[in-house]
Structure 1
């Protein structure tokens, strides 16, 4: 793996060490993203690091400052917090083993307990009209609910040119009215980026398309309003369960065709639908 620039101290050596241990490239990319974000945060907000950008001066309170920001400003879940802490821990152990830092600042920082998963809400599609009209929810949150209620996986919706192939003229009037109102919000962004897609960043970017992590930054705060998980994968499960409960007599073949399911997954979702209260 060739690195053109250093996004954080000792990146080349650290990545070489990860690759020597046969760490998957996707995981290496996650380490790089975490450490780049960590050092970028320190450069802007941490007095210790700002003085001379020396990673070997960081101690436990400096790392805790960053982790606290993740919880308060970004509202990351415990699972994400623990993964980031693990990345930092591996990095600082690597530096310590090479005598590039005298400290192990993550040594005394504890991981967060695993959060209990919320039960899947399969009623939300029945209340879609109310959610679309709730202007306390961000436009992207409501758009996510609308698209998933039509069976679209959010990864598909975030791809460039998704809207070019989307047909909405036969959607209910309330949904078409929401899209008309949504256009008032997204229109200026589309003009700025010269892009007709719907999920767009609100700041200048070479690629204007919102990423899945970027979308989560809108969805997660709105969970305080909905009181159920707005994770797109969980929403899709709720939609599938709702569909099966409304179509109990439909054949497996017809359900697979209607929901674009893999044939092997139909039994799993039928069991979820049967267990749903």
Structure 2
């Protein structure tokens, strides 16, 4: 199996030796894949040599700055990403695979008070789907999240092509027709039935999360609220719980495919929502 970032196999052995939970190991993989994908596309140092040993503090700072400005991550997420990168580079340094520890001088950020979650966007979905000022991928993201799909799911190859939309509300069908007219030529060009596809020739036609953010970020000025798919999904969950306060934890878990220990957290959020 090809490695998704440098020294992945060796680093995974370290995480396994530390008896980390599989979900935690997956978080490290997600962070490091995204970090090196960003370097591959936007960092001149890495683009020239593709060598980890050439990376220095400013290269990591550039990535973290992008997370804050382009994706508008919260400080808690920033600190977690920095921790993942710090442990990775300490591991490389300990094996002399890099002469630098580029995270050494980078500091974590103070914990922020949680921001109110916008759950009302779900109620106005029909209007947003009809708003042609929003990119079609932005509207598709809103639609899929409103149907209970988290971004980790709907960007995964092979997922969207299997989605059956026939039972979806009549109010969303006009947009689905518009979307099919948009996506059909791309699907034919790439011989791929997935929904989030790049609009230029590429070896892998699937849109990445950073690629999706390039469409979402400009549309925030149009729509008037944050379009981070993770935040949108939280709003969807809160909206669902507010609409169905009588449902038991078991019913909510089944309907939303949430782990049971997450229900209490989102119930509390729904009770605090304005």
Look up the SS of the partner of 2:125 in the other structure: helix
For residues 15 and 263 of structure 2, the distance between their equivalents in structure 1, rounded to whole angstroms, comes to 39
Q: Which residue of 2 aligns with 1:45?
A: 44
Contact 2:4 2:33 in 1 (8 A): no
Contact 1:219 1:230 in 2 (8 A): yes
The offset of 1:90, in angstroms, is 2.0
For residues 82 and 26 of structure 1, the distance between their equivalents in structure 2, rounded to whole angstroms, comes to 17
The offset of 1:118, in angstroms, is 2.9
Q: Where does the alignment leave 5 or more consecutive residues of structure 1 unmatched? A: none
For residues 86 and 247 of structure 2, the distance between their equivalents in structure 1, rounded to whole angstroms, comes to 48
Alpha carbons of structure 1 residues 234 and 39: separation in structure 2 relative to 1, 3 Å:
closer
Aligned residue among 101, 106, 112 for 1:104: 101
Alignment of 1:69-80 (within 5 A): 69-72=66-69, 74-75=70-71, 77=73, 78-80=75-77
Q: Are residues 1:171 and 2:170 paired?
A: yes
The offset of 1:31, in angstroms, is 6.1
Q: Which residue of 2 aligns with 1:33?
A: 33
Q: Where does the alignment leave 5 or more consecutive residues of structure 2 unmatched? A: none
TM-score between the two structures when normalised by the length of structure 1: 0.68
For residues 11 and 117 of structure 1, the distance between their equivalents in structure 2, rounded to whole angstroms, comes to 33
Contact 1:34 1:84 in 2 (8 A): no
Contact 1:56 1:100 in 2 (8 A): yes
For residues 267 and 38 of structure 1, the distance between their equivalents in structure 2, rounded to whole angstroms, comes to 35
Q: Deviations over 1:193-219 (max 9, x none)?
A: 234443333344566454566545543
Q: Which residue of 1 aligns with 2:247?
A: 252
Q: Which residue of 2 aligns with 1:198?
A: 195
Contact 1:256 1:262 in 2 (8 A): no
Structure (1 or 2) with the larger CA radius of gyration: 1
Alignment of 1:1-277 (within 5 A): 7-8=5-6, 13-23=10-20, 24=22, 25-27=25-27, 29-30=29-30, 32-33=32-33, 36-37=36-37, 40=40, 45-46=44-45, 50=48, 55-56=52-53, 58-72=55-69, 74-75=70-71, 77=73, 78-151=75-148, 157-158=154-155, 159-163=159-163, 165-167=164-166, 171-172=170-171, 175-204=172-201, 208-210=205-207, 215-239=212-236, 241-242=238-239, 252=247, 256=251, 260-261=255-256, 272-277=269-274
CA RMSD of aligned residues (A): 4.2
Look up the SS of the partner of 1:161 in the other structure: helix
For residues 233 and 3 of structure 2, the distance between their equivalents in structure 1, rounded to whole angstroms, comes to 39
Contact 2:45 2:55 in 1 (8 A): no
Deviates more, 1:192-201 or 1:180-189: 192-201
Alpha carbons of structure 1 residues 211 and 11: separation in structure 2 relative to 1, 3 Å:
closer
How many aligned residue pairs are there? Answer: 263
Q: Deviations over 1:197-251 (max 9, x none)?
A: 4333334456645456654554344334333343445434534554565677xx5
TM-score between the two structures when normalised by the length of structure 2: 0.69
Alpha carbons of structure 1 residues 14 and 136: separation in structure 2 relative to 1, 3 Å:
same
